[in-house]
Amino acid sequence: MAMNVGGWRSFLAGGLLILGAGLPAFEILALGALVAALPATIHAGFASPAGHRALQALGVWGGLMLLLQIVPRVRTALVTAIGWRLDSSLRQRAMAAVNRPWGIAHLEDPAIANLISRTAGIGVAGYTPGLAVNQLVNTRIAATLGALASGALLVGYHWWAAPLLLMVLWSFSVVRRRTFTRMAATVVDQTAAVRRAEYFRDLALAPGSAKDVRLLGIGDWIVGRLRAEWQTGLAERQQSEGRAFPLTLAGTMVVMLANALVYGLLASDAARGVIGLGALVVYLRAVAGLGALGSSGAADSIIAHGAAAIPAILELERRTEPPPGPALARLPETAPQREIRFDKVSFTYPGAAGPVLRELDLIIPARGSLALVGLNGAGKTTLVKLLARLYDPTGGVVRVDGTDLREIEPQDWQRRIAAIFQDFLRYGLPARDNIGFGGLTMAGDQAALERAAAKAGVLERIQALPAGWDTPLSRHFTGGADLSGGEWQRIALARALFAVEAGARVLILDEPTASLDVRAEAELYDRFLDLTRGLTTLLISHRFSTVRRADRICVLEEGAVQELGTHDELMALGGRYAAMFALQSSRFVEAAAAPA
């Protein structure tokens, strides 16, 4: 994973790391010299040669202590900044990988969902790669280099003392790191359980589900499921910790025995006068300095968990990498000029029992309007997804002016589509952005924004907001305001119409009036022909008063075209469309005839 996130900070941090590695050893020597000079200084005074040596040692020791306070702090600040840049870079790479594919099929793959979950916070168990780098440099590497420098001082005591302690401490450190690595892998393996737990957490806390949760009285049930999923996710980790405990305890005992052996020898030699007071201080501090090799348990845990996100990001990038192939075509700006043709198109969702579309043949004439009707599950929304190339057919071909849609640059085609879906997004951003997202290339064109809003019938509402176009459309933000469902639907329609202003040539309206009252719906469709003039329009609606305004109407049933024609033609045919129209019309007749 090649990335430059450190720059000059990395070189400076490396230099401070090397400088900081030797400081503890020099500080120990300076302290030893100071302690060694104190007895003679006390006897002869500071004016004596011994006193001068003590003052010099004190000055050197004080300077080293000052550096020991400054150097690690500066290094920590630099490495922390590098860690932040690393996390930011990884977040951007993860987001780019998720958004790289032109379709949405990968987002419905559970394996991809698990990878996204591992990279969503860029880290495992709350620890990020940037934090892992911080701990790696400032704790493990710094402690290791400092311990080695301090341990080298023991060579002057007994040659075997430092190797003995190093071997014991290093072995203990390796065992513990492997333990934490296994624990991190266990957490990664339980991603699916963690995702389920997070779903129940969001269900309990999100405002959107609050009404149902309270009215149904399922709050305690949700909390119980949350607890069960977390316990499932943590059970294997707890077992791993339990298996590691005896080994960790045994390692700790061996380290204690090795330290006790060296400390005992030092005490004996000091008592017998084999080593002086200054040497005793140096060797005691050297043993303590070596102990830093075995005291980085928390750092090992953070490093293991923080680094676990990086393989997930690499795998996510690998899975979303576009397959190699020839360069794709770009359409003329005026496309589609003749038609969009579905030629024997079939489609089956991954893991589904059967196809949603079955060898469907359909022509959508350019610059005309086609309405799709049919029962739920007939394939209307799937057809729209194939048209927008959010999926590719599993059989057959979708052609634009004779060109296979799979041979066209996906972004070039999708830029030509303006859509309002039934489940449109409500961005908690200013009204300007909510509509301007339809055409980012001209989002600064205020006149175009106002034209789109006026066509959708929402301009006056936007202008009446506290800060007008700059008002956040959410009460969760300071100065924000919320809209009704119908007003939100007009915002979504304005966004689609703004996309038309930006050059879109295909307009998809999926239940565009579902949240509007009868009067608002009638007003909108009185202007239907004006709104869609010159566009290739695909309309999905269950309201036949809306559908009848389209140039042609297609009845889908079990993934195939059942009927196709104008409203009058289909009514004269007396088939499925006529029956559905009559059924819906009878409700209004009965309502009108009912006594007041």
Boundary (domain end) residue, out of 296, 320, 344: 320
Same domain, yes or no: 391 and 490: no
* Three-class DSSP category at 430: strand
* Three-class DSSP category at 319: helix
Q: CA 139, CA 133: separation in Å to the nearest integer?
A: 10
Given a contact cutoff of 8 angstroms between Cβ atoms, the answer to whether 155 and 284 are in contact is no
Question: pTM value?
Answer: 0.70
Same domain, yes or no: 175 and 291: yes
DSSP 221-244: HHHHHHHHHHHHHHHHHHHHHHHH
The Cα angle at residue 134 between residues 291 and 69, in degrees rounded to 5: 65
Dihedral of CA 350/353/358/363: which sign?
Answer: negative
Same domain, yes or no: 166 and 250: yes
Give the pLDDT confidence score for residue 40 in this predicted structure.
Answer: 84
Q: By C-alpha distance, which of 506, 477, 505, 509 is closest to 493?
A: 509
Q: By C-alpha distance, which of 538, 244, 594, 561 is closest to 418?
A: 538
Q: Is residue 591 in a domain? A: yes
Same domain, yes or no: 105 and 71: yes
Give the pLDDT confidence score for residue 366 in this predicted structure.
Answer: 93
Boundary (domain end) residue, out of 488, 504, 520: 504
Dihedral of CA 433/435/438/439: which sign?
Answer: negative
Residue 393 has which token pair? 């057919």
Give the pLDDT confidence score for residue 296 in this predicted structure.
Answer: 62
Q: CA 136, CA 122: separation in Å to the nearest integer?
A: 17
Q: How is residue 542 annotated by DSSP?
A: S
Dihedral of CA 197/201/206/212: which sign?
Answer: positive
Q: CA 119, CA 111: separation in Å to the nearest integer?
A: 13
The total of other beta-carbon atoms located within 10 Å of residue 48's CB is 14
Q: Is residue 235 in a domain? A: no
Q: How many domains does the chain have?
A: 3
Q: Is residue 170 in a domain? A: yes
**CATH number for position 368:** 3.40.50.300
Q: CA 21, CA 29: separation in Å to the nearest integer?
A: 14
Same domain, yes or no: 66 and 91: yes
Q: By C-alpha distance, which of 84, 75, 74 is closest to 5?
A: 84
Q: Is residue 219 in a domain? A: no
Q: CA 586, CA 592: separation in Å to the nearest integer?
A: 10
Q: How far is CA 95 from CA 63, 117, 317, 390, 554, in A?
A: 48, 12, 10, 18, 39
Give the pLDDT confidence score for residue 236 in this predicted structure.
Answer: 61
Q: CA 137, CA 159: separation in Å to the nearest integer?
A: 29
Range of the domain at 387: 332-416+507-596
Side-by-side strand order, sheet with 506-510: 417-420, 506-510, 536-540, 369-373, 552-557, 560-565
Q: CA 181, CA 179: separation in Å to the nearest integer?
A: 5
* Three-class DSSP category at 206: coil
At residue 560, what are phi and psi to the nearest 5 degrees? -140, 160
Give the pLDDT confidence score for residue 88 in this predicted structure.
Answer: 84
Give the pLDDT confidence score for residue 361 in this predicted structure.
Answer: 95
Given a contact cutoff of 8 angstroms between Cβ atoms, the answer to whether 53 and 45 are in contact is no
**H or E stretch at 207:** helix 207-216
Same domain, yes or no: 294 and 438: no
Same domain, yes or no: 340 and 353: yes
Distance in Å from the first CA to the final CA of the chain: 73
- Look up tokens 């009848």; give the residue: 548
Q: Is residue 213 in a domain? A: no
Q: Is residue 264 in a domain? A: yes
Give the pLDDT confidence score for residue 591 in this predicted structure.
Answer: 45
Beta pairing class for 369-373 and 552-557: parallel
The total of other beta-carbon atoms located within 10 Å of residue 42's CB is 12
Q: CA 576, CA 189: separation in Å to the nearest integer?
A: 51
The total of other beta-carbon atoms located within 10 Å of residue 162's CB is 23
Give the pLDDT confidence score for residue 592 in this predicted structure.
Answer: 43
Q: How is residue 596 annotated by DSSP?
A: -
Q: CA 178, CA 299: separation in Å to the nearest integer?
A: 13
* Three-class DSSP category at 62: helix
Given a contact cutoff of 8 angstroms between Cβ atoms, the answer to whether 60 and 27 are in contact is no
Q: Is residue 581 in a domain? A: yes
Q: Is residue 262 in a domain? A: yes
Same domain, yes or no: 497 and 539: no
Boundary (domain end) residue, out of 292, 320, 348: 320
Same domain, yes or no: 171 and 260: yes
| Rounded mean pLDDT for each run of 10 residues along the chain, 596 residues in total | 65 86 86 86 82 88 90 88 86 86 83 77 66 84 82 81 78 71 66 72 76 76 79 62 66 78 84 85 83 69 79 87 80 89 93 90 93 90 92 94 92 89 84 92 92 92 93 86 88 91 90 72 69 86 82 92 94 92 68 46
**CATH number for position 57:** 1.20.1560.10
Crossing angle of helices 110-120 and 49-99, rounded to 10°: 150
Give the pLDDT confidence score for residue 103 in this predicted structure.
Answer: 86
Question: In this structure, what is the dihedral angle of CA atoms 94, 100, 106, 111, given to the nearest 10 degrees?
Answer: -20
Same domain, yes or no: 398 and 439: no
Task: List strand residue ranges (DSSP E) for 132-289, in order.
Answer: none
Amino acid at 383: L
Same domain, yes or no: 304 and 410: no
Q: How far is CA 513 from CA 258, 372, 488, in A?
A: 79, 15, 11
Q: How far is CA 231 from CA 119, 346, 489, in A?
A: 22, 43, 42
Same domain, yes or no: 76 and 163: yes
